[in-house]
C-alpha cells in the first residue's frame, strides 16, 4: 500500500514552510505591472472553488494570472522527481496538475481569461503579456 504522508518529519516541516503566495517571480511581475500603472488584486479566492486562489486578478476585465512554480506544478523543462517516497510525490504532483486544469476550466467556463506562467519565465515578458491582454480586453469592452 502506498505511503500517504511525506517521507519524513523533516520533509513535512520543509513543505509547510513553502510559500503558497508572494513568490519572487510573482512579486517581480506585480512590481512591473504596478509600475506600468496597472491595478490588480492579489490572492483572490477562485469563485466557487474553496481553498484555491488566483495570484494576480484584474476583476473588471475578468483576467486571472497564475505564476506556477516549476516543481509544484510540473514544468516540462524544470520539474524534478524526488527519489525518496517517489510514488507519494508522483501522486501529489499529478494532483496539483489536475487541480490546475480543473481551476482553469472552471474559470474559463465562467467567462474568465486565464493566463498561466512558469516561475522561470522572464518577469518582463510575463508583465508585457499580461498588460497586453488587459489592454486588449479593456478595448473590446469599450466597443
Q: Does 108 have pLDDT greater than 80?
A: yes
Q: pTM for this structure?
A: 0.84
* Joined grid coordinates for residue 79: 520539474
pLDDT tens for 27-82 read 999 999 999 999 999 999 999 999 999 999 999 999 999 999 988 888 888 877 77
pLDDT tens for 60-70 read 999 999 999 98
pLDDT at 77: 86
SS3 sequence, 125-136?
A: HHHHHHHHHHHH
Pairing relation of β-strands 53-58 and 63-68? antiparallel
Q: Where are the domains of the chain?
A: 19-142
**Sheet containing strand 63-68, strands side by side:** 41-45, 53-58, 63-68, 113-118
Q: Does 140 have pLDDT greater than 90?
A: no
Fold of the domain built from segment(s) 19-142: Endonuclease; Chain A (3.40.960)
pLDDT at 16: 55
- Count of other CB atoms within 10 angstroms of residue 118: 19
Amino acid at each position: 500500500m502506498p505511503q500517504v504522508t511525506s517521507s519524513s518529519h523533516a520533509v513535512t516541516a520543509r513543505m509547510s514552510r513553502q510559500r503558497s503566495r508572494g513568490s519572487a517571480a510573482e512579486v517581480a511581475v506585480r512590481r512591473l505591472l504596478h509600475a506600468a500603472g496597472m491595478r490588480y488584486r492579489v490572492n483572490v479566492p477562485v469563485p466557487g472553488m474553496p481553498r484555491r486562489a488566483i495570484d494576480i486578478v484584474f476583476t473588471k476585465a475578468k483576467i486571472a494570472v497564475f505564476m506556477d512554480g516549476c516543481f509544484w506544478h510540473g514544468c516540462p523543462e524544470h520539474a524534478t522527481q524526488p527519489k525518496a517516497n517517489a510514488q507519494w510525490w508522483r501522486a501529489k504532483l499529478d494532483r496539483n496538475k489536475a487541480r490546475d486544469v480543473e481551476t482553469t476550466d472552471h474559470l474559463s467556463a465562467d467567462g474568465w481569461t486565464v493566463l498561466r506562467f512558469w516561475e522561470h519565465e522572464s518577469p518582463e515578458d510575463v508583465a508585457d503579456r499580461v498588460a497586453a491582454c488587459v489592454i486588449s480586453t479593456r478595448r473590446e469592452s469599450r466597443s
